[in-house]
Amino acid sequence: MQDIPRKRWIRPCTLVYLIMVALTLVTWGIGMTAQGGLELSLLVLLFALIKGQMVGDWFMGLHFVQGIWRWPIIIWLFVPGALITIAFILSYGG
């Protein structure tokens, strides 16, 4: 396998790491202060899916892979994400 140049990989990964820390802190803040609710639940789920995609693309390095190998993580995030979204909407009487 051809290795990715260090700068093209580490710099985005450092940025991704900082974004994930920020999204985690916001998620925790919502969990600590809010009373819940459909919108906030779906918002923190969206944060989690974004973080998951960033792990797959950058930490796992799938951003640098061609073809079908990028898709399993995307599909994996989409399917449970969709199931959870549907279940939460239904739980709010949607």
Residues that bind another protein (CB under 8 A): 1-6, 8-10, 13-14, 17, 20-21, 24-25, 27-28, 30-32, 36, 41, 44-45, 47-49, 51-52, 55-56, 58-62, 64-67, 69, 72-73, 76-77, 79-80, 83-84, 86-88, 90-91
Provide the residue count of the chain: 94
**Contact by Cβ (8 Å): 55, 79:** no
Min dist. Cβ of residue 57 to another protein (A): 11
* Whole-Å CA distances, 56 to 31, 39, 92: 25, 26, 31
